[in-house]
Chains A and B, each alone.
Chain A
Amino acid sequence: MREPTFLILTALADGPRHGYGIVQEVRVLSGGRTSLLTGTLYTALDRLTAEGLIEPDREEEVDGRVRRYYRLRTEGLAALTDETARLRQLTTAAEARLRAVRPEPA
C-alpha cells in the first residue's frame, strides 16, 4: 500500500470526512509532508471506492459548496489494520537493529 493511500484510509478511520477534510487530515497525519492536490485525492477516492475499501456516506451543502463524505468500509478497515501491523513489524525490526548499532546512553 502506498503512503498516500495509507494516509487517506487512516484519515477516515475515526469517521467520515469530505474531500477537503481528508486533505487537511492527511497533512496533519503526515506532519505536513504530504499535501494532496484535489485531482490526486479524487482519483485515489475513485480507486478505493472501486476496490471496495471506502464508500460515499452523505452529502451536505456549506456556503453553496457541495461536500460529499466518505467512510471506511469493513474491507477498508481490515486493509488498514493489516497495513498498520505490517508497518509496525517493520518498524519494530528496524528499531531493534538500530538499538544494536547505537546503544542508548546509560
Chain B
Amino acid sequence: MTGQLARRYRRLLFAYPRAYRRARGDELVGALLDAAGSDRTRPSVREATNLVGHGLRARLGRPASRTVVAWAVLTTVVCGLLAAAFATRAGWETARPLPRTAEAQAMLAEILPDQKFTGIEDEPALFTIYGSPLGRSTVRELLLGDGGEYSQAGVAGSAPLPPMTDPAEIVDQARHNMRAHGWRVYRPIFQDLYGCTGPPCDPTTIPQSTIIVAGRGDTTFTLEVTPTDSYNPGRISGGFLRATPVAVYPLALAGGIAGALVAFLLFAWASRRTEGRHPARAMVKTLLGIALFLWWAPTLLAVPSMAWHTIDEPHPSWHPMWEWLGQPVFSLFFVLGCGSALLGLALAALPGRAPQRAHSPG
C-alpha cells in the first residue's frame, strides 16, 4: 500500500526540476508518507495541487526571491497569448477562400436586387496588406509602421443611391431580404458623416450613414448606406468577409497552452542558470525586462480599445486575436522583444559558475 502511495507521490514530484528531485526526492516522499498515515493509497487533491504548485515554484530557483514568481507569470501569460495568436493565424488557413466576384454579385442581388453594384474584384488572400498577401516585399511595411494595414480582406462593391430615395427604405429592404435568405442581421450602426463641436453647427442635423452587419455560415456581410449631402452623392456599399473558422478556437487554446508551457520552462531554466554569480545575471534580467515591456505594452494599449470597439458595435465575427494584442501594428516591438528574449537565453547558456542551489543538501 505504502509502495503504491510512494509511487504516486514520486509521479507528482515530476513538477519539480530534475536536480531537485535527485537531491530531495527521497526526503520529500518520506515526509509525505509520514504525513499520510498508514491507510492512504493515493494523494489527496489538496496535496497533489500543493506539490505541483510548489514544484513549479522550485523550477524557478531563487527560493529567497519574492518577485521571481511575478516575472514568471508575466512571461508565461504574454508568451501564451502571443502563441495563441500565431495559432489563430494558422487556424485561419482552414477558412474557405473569399467569395469570387460572381458569387458576391449573386449574393448582393439577393439582398438588393434593384441596385447595380460595381467595382467588385477578387481578393488574392484572406488577409492582405495594401491589397497584396503578406510576402517578403511587404514585410518591411508591416514592421516599419504600416502593420495596421495588414487586415482581413473583403470582396466589396458599391452602387449609387437612387435619386430621391430615402436611405431608410434601402436599409429596410436589405434587412428584409437578408433575413429571407438566411442571414442573421444585427442592430444597425449610425455614423455621423462629419463632426462638429457646436454652434453654428448643430450636431443633431449632421447626416448619418447607416451600417448593417450580418452573418450567414462562414460569411459576414457589411452594408453601408450613405445619404446624399451637400458635397457627395449618396452611395450604397456592401462587402463580404469570412467569419472566424471553427478550427481557430481549439488551435488557439492548444497553441496558447503550448506556448505558455515552453515559455515557463525556458524562463525557469534561465532563472536557475543565472542564480548565484552568473557572469551575465544582470544583463539577462535587463533583457527579460525589455522583452516583457515590448510584448506587454502593445497588448495593454490594444485590449481596452478593442474591447470598447467590440462592445460598441455588433460583430458577427470578432476581430482576429492578434489585433487584441496590438499586432501587427506593433510588430516591430514584437520582433525586438523576441530578439531581446533570445539574446537573454543565449547569455544564460554561457558557461559560468555552477548555480548556487539553496536547496542543495548541506
Where the two chains meet, the residues of A that have a C-beta atom closer than 8 Å to any C-beta of B are 18-20, 23, 37-43, 46-47, 49-51, 55-57, 59, 65-68
Alpha-carbon distance between A50 and B53 when the two chains are bound, in angstroms? 19
Dominant SS at the B interface?
A: helix
Q: How far is the CB of B122 from chain A (nearest CB, A)?
A: 60
CB atoms of B30 and A67 under 8 A apart: yes
CB atoms of A39 and B361 under 8 A apart: no
B359 at the interface (CB under 8 A from A): yes
Contacts of A65 in B (CB 8 A): 26, 29-30, 33-34
5 nearest interchain CB pairs? A50-B358, A39-B54, A65-B30, A19-B31, A56-B362
Alpha-carbon distance between A26 and B294 when the two chains are bound, in angstroms? 45
> Please, which residue of chain B has its CB at the minimum distance from the CB of A43?
B54
Interface size in chain B (residues, C-beta < 8 A): 27
Where the two chains meet, the residues of B that have a C-beta atom closer than 8 Å to any C-beta of A are 24, 26-35, 46-47, 50-51, 53-55, 57-58, 62-64, 358-359, 361-362
Contacts of B34 in A (CB 8 A): 19-20, 65
Given contacts A18-B31, A66-B30, contact A46 B46 (CB under 8 A): no
CB atoms of B47 and A47 under 8 A apart: no
A42-B24, A50-B64 given. 16 additional CB < 8 A pairs?
A19-B31, A20-B30, A20-B35, A23-B35, A38-B50, A39-B50, A39-B55, A40-B50, A42-B28, A42-B31, A42-B58, A43-B63, A46-B58, A55-B362, A65-B34, A66-B30
Alpha-carbon distance between A39 and B5 when the two chains are bound, in angstroms? 16
CB atoms of B31 and A20 under 8 A apart: yes
